[in-house]
Amino acid sequence: MAIVAPSLLASNFLRLEEECKMINESEADWLHLDVMDGRFVPNISFGLPVIEKIRKATTKVCDVHLMIVEPEKFAEEFKRAGADRLTVHAEVCMHLHRNIQQIKALDMKAGVALNPHTAIASIADILADVDTILIMSVNPGFGAQKFIPHSLKKIEELRRFLDDQKLTALIEVDGGVTVENAQQLVNAGVDVLVAGNTVFKSTDPKATIASLKRVNR
């Protein structure tokens, strides 16, 4: 079964406690938390104070995705706020290996994210050290975007590389994930489905999450 990680960015921020309760009662595995700084991406979302409150309201794994510059300055604070998994972008980390080791030393699972234009080859030397590779299948910064079709080839390439090297990192995909394309994504090699509007704008979010959970490779 796929790991399902609803993205809180698409939730109703006036009802965060209720949204967390719904996720707690659902079959979701993780809660995906997008942190944006208005510098690396052209948007600002939420930060440490909100994550601290969410951590107290959810029983799910907190999967924090940092779309920020200089993430090393804040890793310890995100750990204290309650992050279980911390993902940084390859594009902003001049010393990516150091960033990954920092996250692991703080006893969090470490992930690396790639924008749509960034090649898998650029992180080949770090794949043995990470727990998650997050493939962005839209340009980061905003929700409700359409899936970029070329992302499928990228996922397939990454799956082959991981399998050939017998590496155990999870492949996560974020952007334009729907009930309709989830099976195709998992067939291509995805382990973790991040779904925002698909879940939170659904008339029955729990049922939508259950549908995503039923997708098998």
Q: List the catalytic residue out of 29, 34, 63, 191.
A: 34
Of the candidates 148, 138, 208, the one whose C-alpha atom is nearest the C-alpha of residue 178 is: 208
DSSP code string of 163-197: HHTT--PEEEEESS--TTTHHHHHHHT-SEEEESH
Q: List the catalytic residue out of 29, 37, 63, 174.
A: 174
Find all residues with CB under 8 Å of 186, minimum gap 6, and list them. Answer: 2, 193, 215, 216, 217
Assess contact for 100 and 110: CB atoms under 8 A: yes
* Annotation says 107 is catalytic: no
At how many degrees (to 10) do helices 48-57 and 16-25 cross?
40
* Annotation says 174 is catalytic: yes
Assess contact for 9 and 45: CB atoms under 8 A: yes
Burial string for 49-72 (b: 16+ CB within 10 Å, else e) reads ebbebbbebbebbbbbbbbbeebb
Q: Which helix (H) or strand (E) holds 60?
A: none
> Catalytic site residues?
34, 174
